[in-house]
């Protein structure tokens, strides 16, 4: 019994050391260059513990020591700035869309060091999808000097995904349901594979680093090949019981003769007209043709423009009233391509329709969104610095 007790204590001690190292490593990554003193203050660890961890990370070349820097203004004190060794490992980021697969390799500083791409009109089968994925991944790996330093693959996907189990649930542009994509790729490459919905990834990024970082409760809507959304409450993504929360594209926005059939099996969904794929299926036109029709004053396209703006505006007004977010962020090629005034038109109608109790919402449009391969690679980097969940049982 004494031996079992010693074993438990040893396991707990090793786990605690791992947690402490993750804390230190995350701070060096997110706030570096940073000194040992600052690490001790921000983690609550003793200076000796921090020194031991730092020395181990330096020896393993995961971090490097930079030049001396001022610690406090006017104090004359100096610090040794510690920062991540950007070449200590790499992450592959993939953007999986209906017509293409794009991939890049990023170092720890999220600088792209390799890229590859494949395009296709239609995948048709899982075998074709996997073949193209393998081609992109193999080409990326071949461009990395030391493939053993690749710590994982992150994939951004339009549609419904079970990110916890790595399952593609439903993707309108790709056409496969309940595909265990993470497992299939992990079996081949023997490295972790993480998948996530593209709008969720964008929302997390903007909440951490971008225009939503001052907002605790917000909504992100993307009008692109498809139409999707992400809901954040108290800085947490709301997934819903079936990972459908935020699926703004299936909000009913069109009625009567404008209620076109949707791939979800119903009709009148926003995505049937407020997405590039929906426009192609419903009215057989491209974004460029729509934009040109608006520019030349074509009556058919001007009428359709009004219907789309109205449909989006009513849907946004309802969801803002129901959820009461601080901010609403919109992005995607549809609004950006059709008309420079489209976002302003939508915003004006939404603000006119909102009850006064919620009309303090901040509505913005993100024209220059981050590279989705970079967001996907961020999944790998995030997991690399994550503190183990089983520490909660200690």
**Cα separation, 264 vs 244, whole angstroms:** 12
Q: What is the pLDDT of residue 29?
A: 77
CB 123 within 8 A of CB 184: no
Output the six-digit token pair for 148. 């053993």
Residue ranges of domains in the chain: 19-85, 90-200+372-385, 213-365
**Cα separation, 46 vs 24, whole angstroms:** 12
The fold for domain 19-85 equals: Arc Repressor Mutant, subunit A (1.10.10)
CA dihedral sign, ordered 333, 334, 339, 340: negative
Place domain 90-200+372-385 in its CATH homologous superfamily.
ATPase, nucleotide binding domain (3.30.420.40)
**Cα separation, 195 vs 240, whole angstroms:** 17
3-state secondary structure of 275: coil
Q: Are strands 90-96 and 100-107 parallel, antiparallel or unpaired?
A: antiparallel
Residues paired with residue 64 on neighbouring β-strands, in sequence order = 83
Of 121, 120, 118, 122, which is closest to residue 102 (Cα–Cα)? 118
Total length of the chain: 394
Q: What is the pLDDT of residue 77?
A: 59
Q: What is the pLDDT of residue 391?
A: 37
Q: What is the pLDDT of residue 392?
A: 32
**Cα separation, 275 vs 221, whole angstroms:** 12
Q: What is the pLDDT of residue 69?
A: 58
Q: What is the pLDDT of residue 12?
A: 60
Q: Are strands 227-233 and 167-170 parallel, antiparallel or unpaired?
A: unpaired
Of 389, 385, 386, 372, which is closest to residue 92 (Cα–Cα)? 372
**Cα separation, 304 vs 172, whole angstroms:** 23
How big is the chain by its Cα radius of gyration, in Å? 24
Q: What is the pLDDT of residue 157?
A: 92
**Cα separation, 149 vs 167, whole angstroms:** 26
Q: Are strands 160-162 and 167-170 parallel, antiparallel or unpaired?
A: antiparallel
Q: What is the pLDDT of residue 373?
A: 96
Q: What is the pLDDT of residue 76?
A: 53
213-365 to CATH, choices 3.30.420.40, 3.40.190.10, 1.10.10.10, 3.40.50.1980: 3.30.420.40
Q: Which helix (H) or strand (E) holds 296?
A: helix 287-296
Helices (H), 60-177: 126-142
Per CATH, 90-200+372-385 and 213-365 having the same topology is answered yes
What is the residue-level pLDDT of the chain in tens, covering all 394 positions? Answer: 455 455 545 556 666 777 788 788 878 877 778 899 999 988 889 999 999 999 988 887 888 887 665 555 455 556 788 887 877 789 999 999 888 999 999 988 788 999 999 999 888 889 999 999 999 999 999 999 888 889 899 999 988 899 889 999 888 777 778 999 999 999 999 999 999 999 999 998 898 778 998 999 999 999 998 899 999 999 889 988 888 888 899 999 999 999 999 988 899 999 999 999 999 999 999 999 999 999 999 999 999 999 999 999 999 999 999 999 999 999 999 999 999 899 999 999 999 999 999 989 999 999 988 899 999 998 887 777 665 434 333 3
């Amino acid at each position: 019994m004494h031996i079992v007790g010693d074993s438990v204590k040893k396991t707990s001690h090793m786990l605690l050391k791992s947690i402490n190292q993750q804390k230190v490593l995350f701070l060096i990554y997110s706030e570096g260059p940073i000194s040992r003193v600052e690490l001790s203050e921000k983690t609550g660890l003793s200076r000796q513990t921090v020194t031991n961890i730092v020395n181990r990370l330096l020896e393993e070349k995961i971090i490097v020591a930079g030049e001396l820097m001022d610690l406090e203004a006017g104090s004359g004190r100096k610090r040794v700035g510690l920062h991540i060794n950007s070449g200590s490992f790499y992450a592959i980021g993939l953007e999986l869309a209906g017509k293409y697969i794009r991939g890049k390799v990023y170092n720890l500083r999220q600088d792209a060091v390799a890229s590859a791409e494949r395009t296709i009109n239609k995948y048709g089968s899982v075998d074709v999808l996997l073949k193209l994925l393998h081609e992109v991944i193999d080409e990326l790996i071949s461009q990395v000097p030391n493939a053993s330093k690749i710590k994982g693959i992150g994939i951004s996907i339009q549609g419904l995904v079970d990110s916890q189990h790595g399952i593609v649930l439903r993707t309108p542009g790709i056409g496969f349901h309940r595909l265990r994509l993470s497992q299939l790729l992990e079996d081949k490459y023997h490295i972790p594979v993480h998948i996530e919905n593209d709008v969720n990834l964008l929302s997390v990024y903007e909440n951490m680093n971008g225009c939503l970082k001052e907002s605790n409760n917000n909504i992100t809507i993307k009008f692109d090949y498809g139409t999707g959304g992400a809901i954040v409450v108290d800085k947490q993504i709301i997934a819903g019981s079936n990972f459908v929360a935020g699926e703004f594209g299936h909000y009913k926005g069109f009625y009567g003769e404008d209620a076109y059939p949707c791939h979800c099996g119903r009709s009148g969904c926003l995505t049937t007209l407020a997405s590039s794929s929906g426009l192609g299926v419903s009215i057989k036109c491209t974004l460029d043709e729509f934009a040109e029709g608006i520019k030349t004053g074509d009556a058919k396209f001007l009428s359709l423009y009004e219907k789309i703006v109205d449909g989006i505006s009513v849907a946004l007004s309802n969801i803002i009233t129901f959820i009461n977010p601080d901010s609403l962020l919109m992005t995607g090629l549809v609004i950006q391509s059709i008309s420079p005034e489209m976002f302003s038109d939508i915003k004006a109608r939404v603000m006119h329709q909102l009850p006064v109790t919620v009309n303090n919402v901040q509505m913005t449009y993100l024209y220059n969104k981050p590279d989705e391969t970079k967001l996907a690679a961020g999944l790998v980097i995030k997991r690399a610095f994550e503190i183990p969940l089983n520490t909660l049982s200690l």
